[in-house]
Structure 1
Amino acid sequence: MLAKIIAVLGCILPLIVGQLHPTEPATYRSLPSLREQAKILDEWKDVRIGNIPTLLDKYGVDGWLMSQREHAEDVIWWSIKNATDFDAHRRTIILFHNKRSEKLPNPIKWVDNTGSAWPELINTLETLQMQRIAINVDSDINFASGLHVGELNALQENIFESWDGQLVNVPMLGVEYVATRVDGMLEYYRDLQEIVWAMLEEGFSHNIVEPGVTMTVDLQWWFREKMQALNVTTWNQPRISVIVPESFPGWEGTDDVIQEGDLLHIDFGITAMGLNTDTQHMAYVLRTSEGEKDAPGGLREGVKKANRMQDIVLDYMRPGLTGNEVLTKSLERMKAENISGQIFCHPIGDWGHDAGAVIGFTNLPEHVPILGDLPMIPNTFYSIELYAYHFVPERNETLRFRLEENAHWSEEARRWRFVRGRQEKLHIIDQTKGHRDTARPPLIQIQ
């Protein structure tokens, strides 16, 4: 009885929180000009940096010190730099502090290749009477370990004699700074998601795919060319596969000729406005030569099962819980509902795999050391990434139904919600809707 009640609630919950498949086709959104984007990005950066003194107080430090050189930047550099900066210049030393004074810049910055910055830095530390200063030297968390060994050596040679005991490792400082989104980002993140869905709906259609001719690798490069035409980039090569029982997340795309009856899968993301997306959808190629009008019922049910897993994960994602706690609760709920699958969700934002708590890894399905023990931070974006096992009677085989959608924190709902919705129906490639004149996916011509 409990399992039935849970299943019913699982069907109702998406209606309550708006996690439905979008009813309208996606459209390609126009992003601001690069000049306007730079202005927007710098405004976001200023707001984020303005929050640093509060973070310093939260984690019990007076300052946050970074040192980097051109092509050897700290990971945090990419989240604090101006939009028109593409790398650090010479040796760039950055000192954030918690001294709230309009007369004192925050951060204090030195750009130097003569060594003269070190005495000035020491004098500043003494003047500000700093007791604990965070440096990014953590051994386990990449967003808190960006101080290159050469810069660490330079710090040891120049300031450790006076400040050695006061330079401390505070990994959550970098994690929370990078993970936290600010007002204004969601509007443009919605536009990026709309672009992603428009690409999926066009790419997985009869206009691009010709069964028996088009190859999965052709389709991969169609997505790359389309990105270029749309003036967006990517943080990974699109991976497109024909799904078989052995298909596993993270594998490279296949090199198959797409045929009628194939179940296709894509894993890709785009990058623009200083933000990244990460999406996995599935498509079905109708057997039009046999008069097929829709995907087999077993495939449709597999998508629904993966949708139910999405509901479960979102239901347990709560600020303050660790990623492992969310994972454990979700797996227990899945077991109660007789659902088999795997969860491997991650934060997303400044980076495709962003700062914050992860909820499972493909190779660590039940507990993730360190990154899984981090607390979940609100005001972040998350990739809800997972798969459900489902037996497809029409094929007499069990397949992994692999989905991924990006979610945002809703303060009003006090939960994470999908940015544009989620895939609840397979993309259908239907040759009866028309045929292209060319044998392969057309390259995008930039006007």
Structure 2
Amino acid sequence: MSQREYAEDTIWWSIKNATDYAPHRRTVLLFHTNSSSLSGRPNPIKWVDNTGQVWDELRGVLETFNPNRIIINVDRNIAFGGGLHVGELEVLKEELGEQWMNRTVNEPMLGIEYVATRVPGQIKFYRDMQEITWALIEEAFSERVVHPGITTTEDVEWWFREKMQTLNVSTWNHPRVSVITPESFPGWEGTEDTIQEGDLLHVDFGITAMGMNTDTQHMAYVLRTSKGETDAPNGLKQGLKKANRMQDIALEKMKPGLTGNEILKDCLDQMKKEGIEGQMYSHPIGDWGHSAGAVMGFTNLPEYVPILGELPVLPNTFYSIELYAYHFVPERNETLRFRIEEDAYWVDEERGWEFVRGRQERFHLVNWTGEINSVARSAFQGQSPFNL
């Protein structure tokens, strides 16, 4: 790996020490496999240099090692195997010459496996992060934050941002809060709605801490307390149950070694057998929100994904099981998308995949029973609900 400050190789962030903020000057890393020929040298060998001395020393190490193959990150399609900047590649060609450049090869799975593989100690802290994520959603989708007729979806998004600041976590995937309707599928944006009684709410966001990321989607129902409602309509509950079944299918079909596209096809076939309509678009997560490894569908590629879908699913990784189920809700005379997402981890060969914290199997309920007169409503319209 050869990189400069602010022009880092993609996998630098998974290799660096926690206290490193960037590769200084020019940072060159050489990972080696033959310890006998490089006795006493660290692995990787690391140079931090802005004088050009690195190249003489690197050539000397290569002469000693005499490798048959030298992997460099030059894949044209996969970010985690293609992080060598074009300027650094040109420098390598000049400094190493044909003798060594003729031995360079492209092996994108090396970077993918390094970034994707989890170590046992991480799961405890990742579970803590999921606890934080769930706690944030449970408070946001409650009467403590949502006041029907006043609070907007954007208000709730800003509540998430401010609350994360107080918890000393950041976000890779900014909160997107939506009111779910037959037409709404806002993608990378939330909706701009004033939340009303009877609304079905949705949030998609992920927090970042300790070099890891979460990605979660939950739904909530705003009770029509003015009409005495105490629970979500049964039709909505059945829609969530159908989406939960899709999660079961995904975990059952995710066999390590199969490609993302093979797993996606198996899932779609099983859904068809069970009469479930919907879409899966699950992805690896961990060091990055959309991390290294095989994907199972994209929203715009529901049945086959070139390149990333042809990668094998790896064990000892984290995955975001992201999907939606279509379901007709009789009480509303509407077909809605029930959109959920939970992070899962590989346990072992016997147990397979399990959700890190669990999954949403019931709606968060907003149970607002207060009354606000028209003067107050006008005064507070557009303000964050936690300032009321």
TM-score (norm 1): 0.82
With 124-133 and 380-389 compared, the bigger mean Cα shift is at 124-133
Counterpart of 1:350 (choices 273, 287, 293) is 287
Q: What is the match of residue 250 of structure 1?
A: 187
Structure 1's 433 and 196: CA in aligned 2 closer, same or farther, altered over 3 A?
Answer: farther
CA offsets, 1:221-244, max 9 Å, x none?
Answer: 100111110000010210000111
Matched, 1:98 2:42: no
Instruction: Note the aligned Cα RMSD (angstroms).
Output: 1.5
Q: What is the match of residue 71 of structure 1?
A: 6
Q: What is the match of residue 294 of structure 1?
A: 231
SS in 1 for 2:323: strand
Q: What is the match of residue 160 of structure 1?
A: 97
Counterpart of 1:341 (choices 254, 270, 278) is 278
Matched, 1:441 2:385: yes
Equivalents in 1 of 2:101, 2:21: separation in Å? 32
Q: What is the match of residue 370 of structure 1?
A: 307
Deviation at 1:441, TM superposition (A): 2.4
Q: What is the match of residue 129 of structure 1?
A: 66
Equivalents in 2 of 1:337, 1:132: separation in Å? 50
SS in 1 for 2:89: helix
Query: Mapping of 1:277-316 within 5 angstroms?
Result: 277-316=214-253
Matched-pair contact (CA < 8 Å) for 1:181–1:380: yes
Equivalents in 2 of 1:70, 1:103: separation in Å? 28
Equivalents in 2 of 1:189, 1:428: separation in Å? 26
Q: Amino acid of the residue matched to residue 426 of structure 1?
A: F
Equivalents in 1 of 2:237, 2:57: separation in Å? 65
SS in 1 for 2:112: helix
Q: Which runs of 5+ in 1 are unaligned?
A: 1-65
Deviation at 1:157, TM superposition (A): 1.0
Structure 1's 392 and 76: CA in aligned 2 closer, same or farther, altered over 3 A?
Answer: same
Q: What is the match of residue 135 of structure 2?
A: 198
Equivalents in 2 of 1:418, 1:165: separation in Å? 46
Equivalents in 2 of 1:183, 1:434: separation in Å? 51
Q: What is the match of residue 123 of structure 2?
A: 186
Structure 1's 433 and 302: CA in aligned 2 closer, same or farther, altered over 3 A?
Answer: farther
Matched-pair contact (CA < 8 Å) for 1:209–1:440: no
CA offsets, 1:194-224, max 9 Å, x none?
Answer: 0011111111100111001111001001001
Equivalents in 2 of 1:287, 1:265: separation in Å? 17
Query: Mapping of 1:223-238 within 5 angstroms?
Result: 223-238=160-175
SS in 1 for 2:369: helix
Deviation at 1:412, TM superposition (A): 5.8
- Identity level (%): 68
Matched, 1:89 2:33: no
With 113-122 and 188-197 compared, the bigger mean Cα shift is at 113-122
Deviation at 1:350, TM superposition (A): 0.2
Q: What is the match of residue 39 of structure 1?
A: none
Equivalents in 1 of 2:371, 2:120: separation in Å? 44
TM-score (norm 2): 0.95
Matched-pair contact (CA < 8 Å) for 2:175–2:205: yes
